[in-house]
Amino acid sequence: MIATYLKILRTPKTVISTQFLSCQKDIVRIGLQIEGKVKKLFCGALAIREVDTGSSNAEEQELSALSNSYYDIERFGISFVASPRHADMLFVTGPVSRNMADALRKTYNATPNPKIVVAVGDTAFDGGIFKGSYAVYDGVDKIIPVHFYIPGDPPSPSRILCSLLEILEMCDGIRT
Amino acid sequence: MNIIFFFFQILFVLLFSPLCIGVIRKVNALMQSRKGASIFQPYRNLKKLFHKDEIISEDASWIFRIAPYVVSASTLVIATSVPIAFAPAFAPAGDILVTIYLVAMGTFFLALAAMDTGSAFGGTGSSREMTLAALAEGGLLFTMLVPAVIVGSTNIGMIASRIGTLSIFQYAPLLMAFVGFFLVLLSENARYPFDNPATHLELTMVHEAMILEYSGKRLALLEWAAANKLFIFLILAANLFFPSTISGAVFGITLIVSGLLTLFKSLILAGVIALIESSIPKLRYFRLPDLLFTSFVLGVISLIISIAM
Amino acid sequence: MVDVIIQNGLAITLVFFLVGAFGSILFQKSPRICNAWSHAFAFLGSAAGVLFSAMVLVLGKTVSYQQETTLPLFEISVRIDPLAAFFIFIVSIVALCTSLYGIGYMAHYHGKYNLGIFGFFYNVFIASMLLIFSAQHAVYFLLLWELMSLASYMLVTFENRTEGTVYAGYIYFVMTHAATACIAFAFLLLYHAAGSFDFDVLRANADELTPSVQTAVFILALIGFGTKAGIIPLHIWLPHAHPAAPAHVSALMSGVMIKTGIFMLIRFFLEFSHPYAPWIGSIILLIGAASSLLGVLYALCEHDLKRLLAYHSIENIGIILLGFGGAMIFASLGLQSFMRLSLVGAFYHTVNHAVFKALLFLGAGSVAHATHTRNIEEYGGLIKTMTWTALCFLIGSMAISGLPPFNGFVSEWLTFQALFSGISSGNVFLTIIFIAGIASLAFTGGLALACFVKAFGVTFLARARSNEAHDAQECSISMRAGMIVLALLTLVFGVFAGSVIPVLSHIVQSVTGFSGHAAALFSTSTTVSVRNQFASISPPIIALAYIGALIVVMLSVYSVTRRRTVTRGLTWDCGTPLTRRMEITATGFSRSLLMICKTFVRPLKNVHIQHIDQSHYFFTFQKIELSFLDIYELYFYRPIAVCAEYVTDRARKIQSGNVNAYILYIVLVFICMIVWLSLSNV
């Protein structure tokens, strides 16, 4: 036990600081306009709920990498929560298979206002590699209104993180 | 006059309880070689939750709507009487048994509210929480009884003010009782190894499962009440079992110093909780009664030793 | 004027009940008149009883009345001392509310059963209990005891077409008569020692009993009155009989009739024979500890709401016996002030249990009538249609779990304090026994809380689990009124504890003769404190603080979140549609606790599977039965029954049917008598 503690103390910090993240400003705002004051609310504390609507799980792997000690999303006040009732933002991945359409709608309805919907990955934007299949609706915006989209198949954790920071900065900018 | 004092105690507990949660999360993060959120993050979370709308299930009744208020009120009533800086002669919840049963009142309503939604998660969470709460009662009572018997009163304030005047031999049973009380603290506040407060797996949740259906201001009230409960238990652990720093005077700088010392002791204990969380796994559910029974047995043994002395 | 009322109070009360009883027989052709008549007169009688006993308690007088009869060994002797008045008060106040409830409840039985008989036995039952508390002569007492048992048997078997009711009545009948035999034997032993059946003479003779007689009386009284009270292992009739009776009769039986056992235990062990050795009090305390723990564990297993409440009665009798046993230990050690503390706790819990148990049974009855089933797994969502019943049941649940500021908390607190006083007084064994008592009380409190979360939650909350529950309607106004009065009483007895305790101390003084100073227990109108500030609580201040905190929280949250909206939506179900089968069941709720305590509860699982042909994987029929091993029947009653059968089988040989053998028996007994008489003359 003591050896573990000493090892923890001796391990150098590996958290990637924000200026070293290669930030590409690839955000596409789809759908509704959000009132300025709504975005203000999320400064400092953002609760995210992941919804997987039939994706290849690649996006989920990248999303779970956000909580490790390299990217450490928690330091920005962002956390992943267990229930859409607790969430401010929905990360939707996957092209929305027919089986998950109802579940996605219920999740959206279960999230209290004000909320932001972010489609993560190319499949969530327009179906991606599954585009045109009979088993999917091509893209999340066919089922629920989407506010932002993070491109990539899958987007790397640094791109997700940068995009999130851009979203939060947008709310910062409007406040100042 | 007393009411103003109780009001300040309530403010103290309300103000600093999210800080304890923040400290625990920060220490956890540091142990994982991360940076983690700042220790003031829980305050931002609460502020955000108060500004959100709420969605309430159609199946829920007035019990669901009233439960967060009842749970918060019970923590506030206990907060008026915990020994932070000064122990008044008479406080509403000044007796050990009143404290235990007011905590039970909060648990009762939270469990009912969880069942009120009709979802499987709430019902399972209720069942698990009530099982653990029922089994923890014995340990809680006996470990709190030990300092009461040593000092000669079950009044919390009196225990806190007199616990510093003991001889070194009387501390041995008190230390054992403290270990038992700490186990019950972990159980009642849903910490490792009893419960993982950050889990997403509903089948393993105990406390979190009960608040899955809450949103907006009611969720904020419940999170704050949970933080209050943790802080209250930490204050009790800090001031009932260790030489406390309760001042004798009502006014003056000593009061502020005592309050800060109590806060400091509580934060150290919070750090210990975080250390434990980072070191051991969460135990399987049916191994938890063994732990609770251990705390009960520790309480009984230390009680017998302290009577024999 | 007051004196007139006190002198004749009991008679007036009895007149009301007798008129109610015979009137309902008279009007049995018309159920509506019958129902109203019997319950109205029961109501009036109980009101008179409340008034009369309250006056006796407050004024502190004692009323006596004696009537010689021509029958030998039998005289009607009535004495109402503060203890009797206290119990009469309990009966009357519970009967008041149940009679109010009964008018609406029995309306469901119009045309199905004979309400005239019911009204008759109902009034006789309450009247007999009132008379039992005031009886002063052993034979008179036994007659009344028998009357009470018969009346309650008739009431238990009232719904004789329902399955299981007749069996319940039969078990109750056998157990109560076995108990009466023990009680009669105990009285005979006392008579033999004192020379009279009168209670005053027995009281005066209390110090002169030999230890063997004392022990024998102790065991017999414990078995006899313990059966009536429902201590483990003599409790088996309770879970059958209490649910079988109509709801308000169950309330009376559970709230009051089992207290007659406690009442006579108090009389026996504190008045008729004292002082006792500490080990006798320890036995009572340990029985109380076992009853409370096992009672609540069995209650957790139940999914019939009324059986659950019946097991909780056993638990609360255990708590009363904890206080009582502690009192006897303190009496034997000479610690009179602690004895007073324990007795006050036990008495307080008696009245509190009567009130909240009656409330809970009335609530269970109204739920059962609205949904036509007693199975808790078919309830659910009733809070939406039966709001008043739900509120009253919630208050009852909070009271029985001992949550402040209701009445259960104060009496449990007093019992705790009494037990705390015991751990540092006396030798090691007594310390350990007191610690066992505290442990059982602590765990009982927690387990009762869990059980009532289950009971209230599964019955009233979330969605309905069956069509009957979906269509349930709120009960009639008289039923609601009965429950609401009891709910208010739980609050009153909780908040105004400081005013109740001096009355109880006075009762203790009259029973034990101890009127020492208030060191161990001191109460003002707002505070109750024990042992020179070892502990003190103030129930009204807790209540006020709670309400104040609630208001402060609500106001501050409202002011901050005024502009937020609250919408209704579906329950979050992870995307799958929720059906009624997805809600937590009562069995599932308590399963984990029972698995943890399986050495005490002994759960069994029987699986019957019928496979298709030779396949082990597919089946046509599967039935799984979850049940519990009845260890009392297996290890306690069955051996006794087998022994009794064996002995009686052998003894039957005497009845050979041969007249010559019978003449031989007479001659033999005659010769033996002559020999014995001549020997004793010499």
CA B184 to chain centre: 9
C663/C369 Cα distance (integer angstroms): 61
Closest residue, chain A, to C568 (C-alpha): A110
CA distance C569 to chain A (A): 7
B235: burial class by Cβ within 10 Å (0-12, 13-18, 19+)? buried
Residue C425: DSSP 8-state? S
- pLDDT tens digits along B196-252: 998 888 888 999 999 999 999 999 999 999 999 999 999 999 988 888 777 666 667
Which of A34-48, B243-257, C489-503 comes out lowest in average pLDDT? Answer: A34-48
- Provide, as residue numbers in chain C, all residues whose Cβ is less than 8 Å from the Cβ of A85: 572
Cβ contacts of residue A111 below 8 Å, gap of 6+? A49, A84, A85, A87, A88, A90, B55
pLDDT at C252 (0 to 100): 94
Q: With a CB-CB cutoff of 8 Å, which residues 10-29 of chain B face chain C?
A: 10
Give the pLDDT confidence of C269-303 residue by residue, as tens digits: 888 877 778 888 999 999 999 999 999 999 998 88
| ipTM of predicted assembly, 2 dp | 0.95
Domain count along chain B:
1
User: With bands split at pLDDT 50, 70 and 90, how would you rate the model's confidence at C517?
Assistant: low
Pseudo-torsion of CA C517, C521, C522, C528, nearest 10°?
180
The closest of C450, C423, C454, C424 to C439, measured between CA atoms, is C423
Which one-letter amino acid corresponds to residue B84? I
CA distance C367 to chain A (A): 33
- CB-closest option in B50, B56, B141 to C566: B56
C567: left (phi over 0), alpha (psi -120 to 50) or beta: beta
Per cent of chain B over pLDDT 70 is 97
Look at residue B1 in the predicted model and tell me its pLDDT: 67
Residue carrying the six token digits 């108990």: C179
Which residues of chain A lie closer than 8 angstroms to C570, CB-CB?
Answer: 106, 109-110
Query: What is the pLDDT averaged over residues C510-535?
Result: 73
Given this model, what pLDDT does residue C515 score? 67
Distance from CA of B111 to the nearest CA of C (A): 7
* pLDDT tens per residue across span B60-90: 999 999 999 999 999 999 999 888 887 777 7
The whole-number average pLDDT for the span B108-128 is 93
Locate the domains of chain C by residue range.
1-192, 632-681
Smallest Cα distance from B58 to chain C, Å: 6
- Among A69, A81, A111, beta carbon nearest to B32: A69
Q: What is the mean pLDDT of residues C457-478?
A: 89
Contact assignment for A74 to B216 by CB distance below 8 Å: no
Per CB distance under 8 Å, which residues of A are interface residues toward C? 83-85, 100, 102-104, 106-107, 109-110, 112-113
Of C446, C553, C352, C355, the C-alpha closest to B97 is: C446
Q: Which of C166, C516, C165 is nearest to C340 (CA)?
A: C516
Cβ distance of B50 and C454 shorter than 8 Å: no
Question: Would an 8 Å CB–CB cutoff place C413 in contact with chain B?
Answer: yes
- pLDDT given at position A33: 37
The pLDDT score that the predictor gives to residue A172 is 55
Q: Return the minimum-mean-pLDDT range out of B175-184, C65-74, C198-207.
A: C65-74
Interchain contact C574–A (C-beta under 8 A): yes
Of the ranges A159-168, B90-99, B256-265, which one carries the lowest mean pLDDT score?
A159-168
Alpha carbons C284 and A33: distance in angstroms, whole number: 75
Question: Which percentage of chain C shows pLDDT scores above 90?
Answer: 55
Residue B165's pLDDT band, with cuts at 50, 70 and 90, is confident
- The interface residues of chain C toward chain A in range 386-415, judged by CB-CB distance below 8 A, are none
Bridge partners for A65 per DSSP: none
CB pairs under 8 A between A and C: 21
Nearest to C572 among A84, A104, A113 (CB): A84
Residues 78-97 of B with CB under 8 A from C: 80, 90, 92-97
Check CB contact under 8 Å for C592 and B136: no
Cβ of C574 within 8 Å of Cβ of A103? The answer is yes
B126 touches chain C (CB under 8 A): yes
Contact: C534, B54; criterion CB under 8 Å: no
DSSP class of C254? I
Highest mean pLDDT among B9-18, C106-115, C160-169: B9-18
Q: Which two tokens stand for residue C31?
A: 């159920």
Which of C410, C566, C601 should be substituted to probe chain B, the one whose Cβ sees the most B Cβ atoms within 10 Å? C566
Query: Which backbone phi and psi does A78 adopt, to 5 degrees?
Result: -100, 135
Contact assignment for C572 to A85 by CB distance below 8 Å? yes
- CB interface of B with C, residues 203-222, below 8 Å: 212-213, 216-217, 221
CA-CA distance, C240 to C261, in Å (whole number)? Answer: 18
Rounded mean pLDDT, C478-502 = 91
The residues, any chain, with a CB within 8 Å of residue A31's CB and separated by 6 or more, are: A117, A141, A145, A146, A147
Tokens read off for C489? 């009483």
Chain B hits for C553, CB-CB cut-off 8 Å, are 69, 72-73, 76, 221
Residues in contact with B290: Cβ distance below 8 Å, sequence separation at least 6, in sequence order: none
The answer to whether B130 faces chain C, any CB pair under 8 Å, is yes
Work out the average pLDDT over B104-131. Answer: 93
Interface contact flag, B57 C572, Cβ < 8 Å: yes
Determine, for residues C431 and B117 on separate chains, whether the beta-carbon distance falls below 8 Å.
no
Spell out which residues of chain B touch residue A11, defining contact as CB-CB under 8 Å. 33
Is C572 in CB contact (< 8 Å) with chain A? Answer: yes
Q: Which chains are adjacent to chain B, needing at least 3 Cβ pairs under 8 Å?
A: A, C
Taking an 8 Å cut-off on Cβ atoms, the answer to whether B215 and A86 are in contact is yes
Picking from A83, A103, A110, the nearest residue to C569 by CB comes out as A110
What DSSP character marks residue C27?
Answer: T
Q: Which chains have 3+ CB pairs within 8 A of A?
A: B, C
Highest averaged pLDDT of the listed ranges A69-78, B37-46, C47-56, C390-399: C390-399
| Res C518: pLDDT | 58
d(CA C215, CA C280): 9
DSSP string, B187-230: HHTT-TTT--TT---GGG-SSGGGGTT--HHHHHHHHHHHHHHH
Residue that is written with structure tokens 């009665």 in the block: C313
Closest CA in chain B for residue A41: B48
List of chain C residues whose C-beta atoms are within 8 Å of the C-beta of residue B131: 450, 592-593, 596
In A21-98 the beta strands, taken as DSSP E runs, fall at 28-29, 46-52, 78-80, 89-93
- Write down the pLDDT at residue A171: 58
Mean local confidence (pLDDT), C369-382: 91
**In chain A, what are the domain boundaries?**
25-175
- Residues in chain B with CB shorter than 8 Å from the CB of A74 are 25, 29, 34, 36-37
Q: What is the pLDDT of residues C593-637, one digit of tens each?
A: 999 988 888 888 888 988 887 778 888 888 988 888 888 888 888
Alpha carbon C538 to chain centroid, angstroms: 28
CA distance B227 to C635: 50
pLDDT confidence of residue A40:
58
> What's the angle, vertex CA C156, arms to CA C150 and CA C162, rounded to 5?
140
Report the amino acid identity of residue C505.
Answer: S
Contact with chain A for residue B202, Cβ under 8 A? yes
Instruction: Give the pLDDT band (50/70/90) at residue A32.
Output: very low
Buried b (16+ CB within 10 A) or exposed e, A30-55: beeebeeebbebbebbbbbbbbbbbb
Please report residues of A whose CB lies closer than 8 A to that of C575. Answer: 100, 102-104, 106-107
In whole angstroms, what is the distance from residue C264 CA to residue C273 CA? 12
Token pair for B50: 């108060």
CB contact under 8 A, B154 and C534: yes
Q: Find out whether the peptide bond into B193 is cis, omega within 30 degrees of 0.
A: yes
Q: With an 8 Å Cβ cutoff, are B126 and C568 in contact?
A: no
pLDDT digit string, tens, across residues C37-71 = 999 999 999 999 999 898 888 887 777 777 777 77
Structure tokens that stand for C195 in this block: 């020379």
Put simply, whether C560 touches A (Cβ < 8 Å) is no
Query: Side-chain half-sphere of B66: how many Cα atoms within 13 Å?
Result: 10
State yes or no: pLDDT of B171 exceeds 80. yes
CATH 3.40.640.10 fits A25-175, yes or no: no
Which among B107, A103, B153 has a CA at the least distance from the CA of C575?
A: A103
Alpha helices for C106-197 (secondary structure H): 115-134, 138-156, 165-194
The helix (H) or strand (E) run that includes residue B57 is strand B54-57
